[in-house]
Structure 1
Amino acid sequence: MASPAATLQRSQLPSITIPASPSHSSSSSPLHRLSTFKTPSSSTPPPPSSTTTNPSSSPLDSLAKDPILSSFLSSSFSSTSFSSAALSSGSPASTAEHLHHAIRLLESQLRSEVLSRHSHLLHQLSSLKDAELSLSTLRSAVSSLQYSVRRVRSELSDPHNSIQPKTIQLSNLHRTIQALQHTTRTLRSSKKLRDLISASESEPEKLDLAKAAQLHREILTMCDEFDLREIDVVDEELSWVKETGEKLRSEAMKVLERGMEGLNQAEVGTGLQVFYNLGELKVTVEQLVNKYRGMGVKSVGLALDMKAISTSGGGGFGPGGIRGSGTPQIGGGAKAREGLWQRMGNCIDRLHSIVVAIWHLQRVLSKKRDPFTHVLLLDEIIKDGDPMLTDRVWEALVKAFASQMKSAFTASSFVKEIFTMGYPKLLSLIENLLERISRDTDVKGVLPAITLEGKEQMAAAIDIFQTSFLALCLSRLSDLVNSVFPVSSRGSVPSKEQVSRILSRIQEEVEAVQLDGHLTLLVLREIGKVLLLLAERTEYQISAGHEARQVTGPATAAQVKNFALCQHLQEIHTRISSMIAGMPFIAADVLSPSLGAIYGVARDSVTPLFKTMIDRLETCILQIHDHNFGAHGMDAAMDNNASPYMEDLQKCILHFRTEFLSRLLPSARATIAGTETICTQLVRSMASRVLIFFIRHASLVRPLSESGKLRMARDMAELELTVGQSLFPVEQLGPPYRALRAFRPLIFLETSQLGGSPLLQDLPPSVVLHHLYTRGPDELESPLQRNRLTPLQYSLWLDSQGEDQIWKGIKATLDDYAAKVRSRGDKEFSPVYPLMHQLGSSLTENAAVSQKH
Structure 2
Amino acid sequence: MARPAIQKASPTPPSPLQKLSTPTVASTPTTATGGASPLDAFASDPTFSAFLSHSFDSTRFSSAALSAGSAASTAEKLQDGIRLLEKQLRSEVLHRHSDLLNQLSSLKDADSALSTLRAAVSSLQSSVRRVRSEIADPHRQIKSKTIQLSNLHRTTDLLQHSIRAIRLSKKLRDLASADPDKLDLAKAAQLHCEILSLCSENDLAGIDIINEELASVSEIGSRLRSDAMKVLERGMDGLNQAEVGTGLQVFYNLGELRQTVDALINKYKSQCVKSVSVALDMKAISASSGGGFGPGGIRGSGTPQIGGGAKAKEALWQRMGTCMDEIHSIVVAVWHLQRVLSKKRDPFTHVLLLDEVMQEGDPMLTDRVWEALVRSFASQMKSTFTASSFVKEIFTVGYPKLFSMVENLLERISRDTDVKGVLPAISSEGKDQMIAAIEIFQTSFLALCLGRLSDLVNTVFPVSSRGSVPSKEHIARIILRIQEEIEAVQLDGRLTLLVLREIGKVLLLLAQRAEYQVSTGPEARQVTGPATPLQLKNFTLCQYLQEIHTRISSMVAGLPAIASDVLSPALGAIYGIACDSVTSLFQAMLDRLESCILQIHEQNFGVLGMDAAMDNNASPYMEELQKSIIHFRGEFLSRLLPSKTNSISTGTETICTQLVRTMASRVLIFFIRHASLVRPLSESGKLRMARDMAELELAVGQNLFPVEQLGAPYRALRAFRPVIFLETSQLGASPLLQDLPPSVILHHLYSRGPDELQSPLQRNKLTPLQYSLWLDSQGEDQIWRGIKATLDDYAAQIKARGDKEFSPVYPLMLRLGSSLTENAPLSQKP
Equivalence for 1:387: 363
Deviations 1:49-92 (A, max 9, x none): 9x425337x699699979999999997779xx99x99xx99999
Write the letter of the residue equivalent to 2:744: V
Residue of structure 2 equivalent to 1:682: 659
Offset at 1:300?
Answer: 0.3
* Aligned amino acid, residue 24 of structure 2: S
Matched, 1:575 2:551: yes
* Structure 2 gap ranges (5+): 1-13
Q: Provide closer, same or farther for how the CA distance between residues 163 and 697 of structure 1 changes in structure 2, counting only shifts above 3 A.
A: same
In structure 2, the residue matched to 1:4 is: none
Residue 43 of structure 1, CA deviation: 4.7
Match for residue 726 of structure 2 among 749, 758, 769? 749
Q: How does 1:15-26 map to 2 (within 5 A)?
A: none
Q: 1:634 aligns with which of 610, 615, 618?
A: 610
Paired residue secondary structure (1:815): helix
How far, CA to CA, are the matches of 1:418 and 1:155 in structure 2? 104
Contact 1:320–1:330 (CA under 8 A) maintained in structure 2: no
Give 1:600's aligned amino acid. Answer: G
The residue number in structure 1 matching 2:761 is: 784
8 Å contact kept, 2:43–2:52: no
Residues 176, 547 of structure 1: CA spacing in aligned structure 2 closer, same or farther, 3 A cutoff? same
Pair 1:504-2:510 in alignment:
no
What corresponds to 2:147 in structure 1? 168
Residues 673 and 310 of structure 1: CA distance in aligned 2, closer, same or farther (over 3 Å): farther
Deviation, 1:641, is 1.1
| 1:126-137 equivalences in 2 (<5 Å) | 126-137=105-116
Structure 2 counterpart of 1:700: 677
Tell me the equivalent position of 2:171.
192
Tell me: CA distance 1:46–1:128, structure 2 relative to 1, closer, same or farther (3 Å): farther
Aligned to 1:414: 390
Looking at structure 2, the residues matched to 722 and 143 of structure 1 have their Cα atoms a distance apart, in angstroms, of 155
User: Would the aligned equivalents of 1:665 and 1:679 in 2 still touch at CA under 8 Å?
Assistant: yes
Of 826, 833, 836, 2:810 maps to 833
Q: Is the 8 A contact 2:761 2:768 kept in 1?
A: yes
Alignment counterpart, residue 287 of structure 1, candidates 254, 259, 263: 263
Task: Using the TM superposition, name which of 789-798 and 836-845 deviates more.
Answer: 789-798
The worse-fitting range, judged by mean Cα deviation, of 788-797 and 843-852 is 843-852
* Cα drift, residue 206 of structure 1: 0.8
For 1:451, the aligned partner's letter is: S
Identity of aligned residues (%): 76
Give the distance between the partners of 2:741 and 2:534, measured in 1 at CA. Answer: 40
> Aligned partners of 1:567 and 1:636: how far apart in 2?
48
Paired residue for 1:148?
A: 127
Alpha-carbon distance change, 119 to 610 in structure 1, aligned in 2, over 3 angstroms:
same
Question: Aligned pair in 2 of structure 1 residues 693, 197: CA closer, same or farther (>3 Å)?
Answer: same
Query: How far apart are 1:133 and its partner, in Å?
Result: 2.1
Q: 1:147 to 1:314 in 2, by over 3 A?
A: same
Q: CA deviation at 1:285?
A: 0.4
Does the aligned pair in 2 maintain the 1:64–1:70 contact within 8 Å? no
Q: Which deviates more, 153-162 or 614-623?
A: 153-162
Distance 1:106 1:785 in 2: 139
1:818 aligns with 2:824: no
Deviation at 1:281, TM superposition (A): 0.4
Equivalent residue runs for 1:448-527 within 5 Å: 448-527=424-503
Amino acid at match of 2:139: H
Residues 677, 747 of structure 2: 8 Å contact kept: yes
In the alignment, what sits opposite 2:4? none
Distance 1:241 1:48, change over 3 A: closer
State the partner residue of 2:100: 121
Counterpart Cα distance in 1 of 2:414 and 2:50: 103
The one-letter amino acid paired with 1:142 is V
Residue 804 of structure 2: SS of its match in structure 1?
coil
Unpaired runs of 5+ residues, structure 1, are 1-7, 17-40
Q: Distance in 2 between matches of 1:90 and 1:511?
A: 115
- Aligned letter for 2:178? A
Q: How far apart are the structure 1 equivalents of 2:665 and 2:30?
A: 142
User: What is the letter of the counterpart of residue 160 of structure 1?
Assistant: H
Distance (Å, rounded) in 1 between the aligned partners of 2:252 and 2:560: 54
Q: Do the aligned partners of 2:579 and 2:655 also contact (CA within 8 Å) in 1?
A: yes
Distance 1:113 1:612, change over 3 A: closer
Is the 1:629–1:704 Cα contact (8 Å) retained in structure 2? yes
- Contact 1:47/1:120, CA 8 A, preserved across alignment: no
Q: Whole-Å Cα distance in 1 between the matches of residues 569 and 704 of structure 2?
A: 31
Residue aligned with 2:20, SS: coil
Structure 1 match to 2:786? 809
**Structure 1: which amino acid aligns with 2:672?**
I
Q: Show the counterpart of 2:315.
A: 339
- What is the CA–CA distance in structure 1 between the aligned matches of 2:28 and 2:590, rounded to whole Å? 141
Instruction: Look up the equivalent residue of 2:624 and give its one-letter code.
Output: D
Structure 1 Cα separation of the partners of residues 452 and 96 of structure 2: 127
- Measured in 1, the distance between the counterparts of 2:72 and 2:393 equals 117
Residue 313 (1) aligns with residue 289 (2): yes
Q: Offset at 1:42?
A: 2.7
Q: How many angstroms does 1:316 deviate by? A: 5.8
CA RMSD of aligned residues (A): 3.0
Aligned AA (1:303): A
Asked if the contact 1:320/1:331 (under 8 Å) is kept, the reply is no
User: How far off is 1:157 after superposition?
Assistant: 1.5
Q: Deviations over 1:780-832 (max 9, x none)?
A: 11111122221111111111111111111111111111112112211111111
CA distance in 2, matches of 1:264, 1:192: 30
Paired with 2:304 and 2:44, the residues of 1 have a C-alpha distance of: 112
Matched with 2:409 is 433
The residue number in structure 1 matching 2:11 is: none
Q: Which residue of 2 aligns with 1:52?
A: 33
- Write the letter of the residue equivalent to 2:660: V
The answer to whether the 8 Å contact 1:441/1:449 transfers is yes
1:109 Cα deviation after fit: 5.9
8 Å Cα contact 1:784/1:794 also seen in 2: yes
Partner Cα separation in structure 1 for residue 143 and residue 435 of structure 2: 80
**3-state SS of 2:663 partner:** helix
- How big is the shift at 1:262? 0.5
Q: Distance in 1 between matches of 2:82 and 2:494?
A: 117
Cα distance in 2, alignment partners of residues 171 and 409 from structure 1: 76
Deviation for aligned residue 1:672: 3.5
Cα distance, 1:267–1:99 mapped onto 2, change above 3 Å: closer
Aligned equivalent of 2:714: 737
Match among 5, 17, 24 for residue 42 of structure 1: 24
- Partners of 1:59 and 1:730 in 2: how far apart? 136
Contact in 1 for aligned 2:524/2:532 (Cα 8 Å): yes
Given the superposition, is the C-alpha separation of residues 362 and 113 from structure 1 closer, same or farther in structure 2, using an over 3 Å criterion?
A: closer
Q: 2:705 aligns with which of 699, 717, 728?
A: 728
For residues 46 and 437 of structure 2, the distance between their equivalents in structure 1, rounded to whole angstroms, comes to: 99
Corresponding residue to 1:618 among 585, 588, 594: 594
Residue 670 of structure 1 pairs with residue 676 of structure 2: no
2: CA distance, partners of 1:834 / 1:72: 130
Flag the 1:232–1:814 CA change in 2: closer, same or farther, 3 A.
same
CA distance in 1, matches of 2:617, 2:261: 105
Counterparts of 1:553 and 1:44 in 2: how far apart (Å)? 142
One-letter code aligned to 1:791: P
> How far apart are the structure 1 equivalents of 2:479 and 2:92?
134
Measure the CA separation in 2 of the matches of 1:826 and 1:733: 47
Do the aligned partners of residues 180 and 758 (structure 1) sit closer, same or farther apart at CA in structure 2, a change above 3 Å counting? same
Which residue identity lines up with residue 400 of structure 1 in the other structure? S
Q: CA deviation at 1:743?
A: 0.2
1:243 Cα deviation after fit: 0.7
Question: Is the CA contact 1:13–1:134 (under 8 Å) kept in the aligned structure 2?
Answer: no
Deviates more, 1:530-539 or 1:787-796: 787-796
Q: Which amino acid aligns with 2:166?
A: L
User: How far, CA to CA, are the matches of 2:784 and 2:375 in structure 1?
Assistant: 76
Please tell me whether the aligned partners of residues 676 and 744 of structure 2 are also in contact (alpha carbons under 8 angstroms).
yes
Letter in 2 for 1:765: P
Structure 2 residue aligned with 1:402: 378
1:145 Cα deviation from its structure 2 partner: 2.5
Q: C-alpha separation between the residues in 2 aligned to 1:460 and 1:100?
A: 99
Question: Aligned equivalents of 2:677 and 2:532: distance in 1?
Answer: 38
- Aligned match of 1:35: none
